[in-house]
Amino acid sequence: MFNLKNWPFLRQIYMVEDNYKQRGLRNKLVKKLRLKGIGDERLLAAIGKVPRHAFFDDALLIHAYEDKAFPIGEGQTISQPYTVAFQTEKLNVNPGDKVLEIGTGSGYQACILLELEAKLYTIEYNRTLFERTKAFLPQLGYKPYFVHGDGSQGMPSKAPFDKIIVTAGAPVVPTALTEQLADGGILIIPVGDMERQKMLKITKRGDKLLEEAFDYFAFVPLRGQQGWK
């Protein structure tokens, strides 16, 4: 029997509305991100629109608009807003871009990509999170193509992609991902050890891969065949 108690995220959609206070906190968060160097106005508008508090359990609700990562269950996290903004800005999403997100998690990043009018494919390794988020996002009006599986292998059946974003820390750049990039495509991926990872932007130009490296971030580990065992 379906019971809302077993679906904390669904329960919130009935209990938490997007009120004046939440919109105010979201505007403050957008201002903070702008001060931290995020300049893409379309992206800032998307962050100003997606109700981050809807992704939080009741106990953590008051923290929803802090610039911090928070637990979402299953030992995983919803990424810090600055991290979401940094990765998404580097991804340079144009309307209609075919985008692959690796690590659906709560679905928050997916909503930002959909607000940027990406044609979004998202893959999650953890079955509980996959099922929960697949049921929840359409309730907010967001409908990416959901897959449960090992995103370190990409999504070969749907390749090539204009953009690929990895939201978990990888030990290496998985070859499957660079292979599934379209010519001119961009891959954003944090690569390093379990504690911290350097954000890499890899652009495919013909048979060449151009790499740019940015700051260090701290992500939960990318699991799977080309991730951490």
**Which spans of this chain sit near ligand SAM (rule: CB under 6 A)?**
76-79, 102-103, 105-106, 108-109, 123-126, 129, 150-152, 167-168, 219-220, 222-224, 227
Nearer to ligand SAM by Cβ, of 136 and 219: the residue is: 219
- What's the min distance (Å) between Cβ of 213 and ligand SAM? 20
CB 93 within 8 A of CB 99: yes
Residues constituting the chain: 229
- What's the min distance (Å) between Cβ of 183 and ligand SAM? 25
Q: In the annotation, is 79 catalytic?
A: yes
Nearer to ligand SAM by Cβ, of 22 and 153: the residue is: 153
In three state form, how does the secondary structure of the chain look? Answer: CCCHHHCHHHHHHHHCCCCHHHHHHHHHHHHHHHHCCCCCHHHHHHHHHCCHHHHCCHHHHHHCCCCCCEEEECCEEECCHHHHHHHHHHHCCCCCCEEEEECCCCCHHHHHHHHCCCEEEEEECCHHHHHHHHHHHHHHCCCCEEEECCHHHCCHHHCCEEEEEECCEECCCCHHHHHCEEEEEEEEEEEECCCCEEEEEEEEECCEEEEEEEEEECCCECECCCCEC
Nearer to ligand SAM by Cβ, of 120 and 222: the residue is: 222
- What's the min distance (Å) between Cβ of 208 and ligand SAM? 26
Catalytic residues, by residue number, are 79
